[in-house]
């Protein structure tokens, strides 16, 4: 495995402890480019825009921030920022640029407007909805998990519970144009009580087009949580149903029996994009990574490949975070996994990988398009109140090129190539020939000068 070096780095100051899910990239102001959003356990929120080290927006007093989600939760007002606290408080913020800094507000009118971005207007943040949800939330995501065309808020809790919430409008009144308040509330729809701790949640597309919730369990096992109703068109026929008609839980043990520690924590990410292929009605790929260094790529419950970095490389990395980003621009999303000590691995669908060493311990990690160019970026939050952004990351290929990739596989052809056709060998021969001719010409010129010098001295006498 080869190592890579990343050059373009941005250093950001952000004090406080960050939870693993309180760092994300998203288009919060609906301008077409992603912003970097950070939140700490002290309730401080900061948004960074483009390649600028000064926060574009600050908001305070948001509670113990454990998760940040960006998406169109209302279905008609564009993207909003959902800030979720560990005690169950949920604040939904609508952020938009405005013409003057005096036209801005926040939860308690404590917004920092540095004005450090040239050509970017000062932002305006409005808390359009606040609500207390279930406590002990650790992770969240937005997805249309029931196929009704609107997004649901999916929450993973520390007490082995997964919940879904749906935004329901209050039909008796609309939005207040003066205060920007959305009338309605998040209504609980589904609840799953699991046997073990939820490591992470994600979604994945199945071959029938339905979207399922994936919940990572200890030991690299996965739970499939289905919300599609049986009467919906395209929904498969199943025998085990809940009382409300939704599909039940499907449990996948995967390779838990082969792991050294079946109780090790794990994380999961689904809907890994692939380049266009001729196969139709195929489930999406998803990946599972365990804390002790095992990474698995899975489709339809079958492990396509797995690798154990602690065994193969004799290292002591504990992998805690995973992202999916198209790093090479070929249409396939690579898998990015990060360890607590900063080591980061980038793996493609063919199990080829490269690694990058970040020099500090990491408290949170995320990756995705960021900045004015929209190229991939790797973002590391440290324990020293610093956040480092490696932007404009472009990898032309993941596999290492060898001689077998550029010459015929025959041994005779390879020997002939090295002896006679290797470009550097030809250049070396040409260079040696030119050096000999240059040395010979300079020696001849020197002898001619020595012969001319005695003749000129005799004529002077």
Q: Looking at residue 311, what is its pLDDT?
A: 54
User: Taking residues 147-155, what's their average pLDDT?
Assistant: 92
Among candidates 370, 389, 391, which has minimal Cα distance to 379?
A: 389
Q: Are residues 380 and 236 in the same domain?
A: yes
Residue 148 lies in a domain: yes
Q: Are residues 31 and 10 in the same domain?
A: yes
Q: Is the pLDDT of residue 9 over 80?
A: yes
Among candidates 99, 78, 81, 102, which has minimal Cα distance to 90?
A: 81
Q: Are residues 343 and 274 in the same domain?
A: yes
Strand boundaries in 262-375, DSSP class E: 266-272, 285-290, 294-299, 302-308, 319-325, 334-339, 343-347, 353-357, 362-369
CATH number of the domain encompassing residue 222: 2.130.10.10
Reading the block at residue 100, the tokens are: 């003057």
Residue 112 lies in a domain: yes
- The pLDDT tens digits for 317-346 are 789 999 999 999 888 999 999 999 999 999
Residue 368 lies in a domain: yes
Q: Looking at residue 405, what is its pLDDT?
A: 63
Q: Looking at residue 110, what is its pLDDT?
A: 42
Q: Residue 12 and residue 244: Cα distance in Å, rounded?
A: 48
Residue 280 pLDDT level (bands cut at 50, 70, 90): low
User: Taking residues 372-386, what's their average pLDDT?
Assistant: 93
Q: Are residues 34 and 151 in the same domain?
A: yes
Q: Are residues 302 and 252 in the same domain?
A: yes
Q: Are residues 447 and 387 in the same domain?
A: no
Reading the block at residue 175, the tokens are: 């939005």
Q: Are residues 416 and 300 in the same domain?
A: no
Q: Looking at residue 22, what is its pLDDT?
A: 95
Residue 86 lies in a domain: yes
User: How far, CA to CA in Å, does 59 sit from each of 113, 127, 267, 375, 432?
Assistant: 10, 10, 30, 27, 68
Among candidates 222, 208, 195, 186, which has minimal Cα distance to 302?
A: 222
Q: Looking at residue 2, what is its pLDDT?
A: 83
- The pLDDT tens digits for 393-452 are 988 888 776 666 655 566 666 676 666 665 555 555 666 677 677 667 766 665 565 665
Given a contact cutoff of 8 angstroms between Cβ atoms, the answer to whether 405 and 418 are in contact is: no
Q: Are residues 417 and 283 in the same domain?
A: no
Q: Are residues 367 and 438 in the same domain?
A: no
254: left (phi over 0), alpha (psi -120 to 50) or beta: left
Q: Looking at residue 183, what is its pLDDT?
A: 80
Residues 6+ positions from 113 with CB-CB distance below 8 Å: 57, 101, 104, 122, 123
Task: Identify the domain containing residue 429 by its residue range.
Answer: 411-460
Domain count, the chain: 2
Q: Is the pLDDT of residue 460 over 70?
A: no
Q: Residue 174 and residue 69: Cα distance in Å, rounded?
A: 24
Q: Which residue has the higher pLDDT, 111 or 368?
A: 368
Residue 198 lies in a domain: yes
Residue 405 lies in a domain: no
Q: How many CB atoms lie within 10 A of CB 373?
A: 14
Reading the block at residue 207, the tokens are: 């071959």
Q: Are residues 379 and 456 in the same domain?
A: no
Residue 235 pLDDT level (bands cut at 50, 70, 90): very low
Distance separating the N- and C-terminal Cα atoms of the chain:
78
Given a contact cutoff of 8 angstroms between Cβ atoms, the answer to whether 27 and 78 are in contact is: no
How does the average pLDDT of the chain come out, rounded? 80
Q: Is the pLDDT of residue 30 over 80?
A: yes
Q: Are residues 219 and 163 in the same domain?
A: yes
Q: Looking at residue 193, what is its pLDDT?
A: 93
Residue 421 lies in a domain: yes
- The pLDDT tens digits for 186-205 are 999 999 999 899 999 999 99
Q: Looking at residue 240, what is its pLDDT?
A: 42
């Amino acid at each position: 495995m080869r190592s890579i070096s990343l050059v373009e780095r941005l250093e950001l100051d952000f004090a406080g402890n960050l939870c693993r899910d309180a760092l994300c990239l998203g288009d919060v102001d609906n301008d077409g480019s992603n912003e970097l959003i950070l939140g700490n356990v002290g309730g401080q929120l900061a948004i960074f825009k483009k390649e600028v080290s000064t926060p574009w927006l600050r908001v305070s007093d948001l509670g113990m921030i454990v998760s940040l989600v960006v998406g169109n939760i209302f279905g008609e007002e564009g993207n909003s920022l959902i800030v979720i606290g560990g005690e169950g408080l949920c604040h939904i913020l609508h952020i938009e640029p405005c013409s003057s800094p005096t036209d801005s507000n926040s939860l308690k009118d404590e917004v920092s407007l540095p004005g450090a971005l040239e050509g970017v207007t000062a932002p305006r943040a409005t808390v359009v909805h606040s609500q207390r949800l279930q406590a002990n939330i650790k992770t969240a995501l937005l997805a249309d998990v029931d196929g009704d065309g609107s997004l649901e808020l999916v929450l993973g809790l520390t007490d082995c519970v997964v919940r879904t919430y749906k935004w329901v409008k209050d039909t008796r009144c609309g939005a207040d144009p003066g205060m920007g308040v959305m009338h309605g509330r998040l209504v609980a729809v589904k609840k799953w009580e699991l046997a073990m701790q939820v490591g992470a949640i994600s979604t994945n597309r199945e071959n029938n087009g339905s979207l399922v919730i994936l919940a990572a369990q200890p030991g690299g096992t996965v739970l499939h949580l289905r919300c599609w109703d049986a009467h919906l068109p395209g929904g498969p026929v199943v025998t085990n149903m809940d009382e409300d008609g939704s599909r039940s839980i499907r449990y996948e043990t995967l390779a838990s029996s082969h792991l050294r520690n079946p109780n090790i924590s794990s994380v999961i990410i689904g809907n890994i994009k692939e380049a266009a292929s001729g196969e139709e009605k195929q489930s999406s790929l998803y990946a599972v990574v365990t804390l002790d260094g095992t990474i698995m790529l899975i489709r339809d419950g079958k492990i396509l490949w797995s690798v154990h970095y602690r065994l193969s490389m004799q290292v002591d990395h504990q992998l805690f975070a995973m992202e999916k980003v198209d790093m090479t621009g070929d249409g396939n999303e690579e898998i990015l996994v990060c360890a607590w000590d900063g080591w980061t691995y980038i793996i493609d669908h063919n199990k080829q990988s490269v690694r990058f060493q970040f020099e500090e311990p990491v408290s949170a990690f995320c990756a995705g398009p960021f900045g004015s160019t929209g190229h991939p970026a790797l973002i590391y939050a440290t324990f020293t109140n610093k956040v480092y952004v490696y932007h404009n990351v472009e990898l032309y290929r993941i596999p290492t090129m060898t001689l077998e990739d550029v010459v015929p596989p025959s041994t005779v052809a390879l020997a002939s190539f090295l002896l006679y056709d290797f470009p550097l060998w030809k250049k070396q021969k040409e260079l040696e020939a030119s050096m000999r001719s240059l040395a010979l010409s300079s020696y001849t010129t020197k002898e001619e000068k020595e012969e001319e010098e005695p003749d000129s001295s005799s004529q002077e006498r």
